[in-house]
Amino acid sequence: MLASKTIIQGTSDKEFSPNAPVTRAEFTAMLVRALGLTGPQANPNRSFTDVNSGAWYASAVATAVENGLIEGFADGEFRPNEQITRQQMSVLLVRGLKLAGAETPAGNPSAMLAGFEDRSQIGAWAEEAAAIAVESGLMKGRGNGSFAPEASSTRAEAATVLARMLRMAGLINS
């Protein structure tokens, strides 16, 4: 379904590579396509020190910045080729949900994440988003009772959470 909407593309003409890790640039591009965002309109030259304007993901990154989906790091970098972590993914997903106008659960993040043994490892900057992602059903923990905030995600996981986000936002059915 996501491939037919050109949200997620294969790693080649014949392979999806579901177990391959997802980079920050790849997930950002997938999220921008999933939300149907175009741009950038205002400040199109806004860039990170490590995003070349000719890179395949440059337009998606600029669009994501313009729409408040990403901010990058304090040093001015986006780090496009780093694998996206689960806590980073949760922040982007929740921002995407809110941008799409979807309702998100409210509550105490600590209570919402109480079932995860590694909840103290979730960064303060991502705690609320991780809690919302879990409480809303966007993301689930790993099988060992952990959220695994620093773990990277696979292409299959990215496809799954994007489909859930689109359903929650009412942008696709079933």
Of the chain, the percentage scoring pLDDT greater than 90 comes to 68
User: Do the domain assignments include residue 35?
Assistant: yes
Q: Which long-range contacts (CB under 8 A, 24 or more apart) does 58-66 make?
A: 60/25, 60/28, 60/29, 60/32, 60/33, 61/25, 61/28, 63/32, 63/37, 63/38, 63/39, 64/28, 64/31, 64/32, 64/37, 64/92, 65/40, 66/39, 66/40, 66/41, 66/42
For the cut 80, the answer to whether the pLDDT of residue 39 exceeds it is: no
Measured in whole angstroms, the distance separating CA 104 from the mean position of its chain's CA atoms is: 16
Give the residue numbers spanning the domain of 36.
24-168
User: Do the domain assignments include residue 33?
Assistant: yes
User: Do the domain assignments include residue 118?
Assistant: yes
What pLDDT is recorded for position 6?
Answer: 44
- Average pLDDT of the chain is 87
User: Do the domain assignments include residue 173?
Assistant: no
User: Do the domain assignments include residue 19?
Assistant: no
Read off the DSSP letter of residue 10.
-
User: Do the domain assignments include residue 117?
Assistant: yes
User: Do the domain assignments include residue 149?
Assistant: yes
Q: What distances in angstroms separate CA 141 from CA 7, 102, 130, 160, one per listed residue? A: 24, 22, 10, 13
pLDDT band at residue 65 under the 50/70/90 scheme: very high
For the cut 90, the answer to whether the pLDDT of residue 42 exceeds it is: no
Q: Which of 6-10, 141-145, 155-159 has the lowest mean pLDDT?
A: 6-10
What pLDDT is recorded for position 17?
Answer: 72
What pLDDT is recorded for position 174?
Answer: 58
pTM of the model: 0.86
User: Do the domain assignments include residue 7?
Assistant: no
Number of structural domains the chain divides into: 1
Higher local confidence (pLDDT), 49 or 1: 49
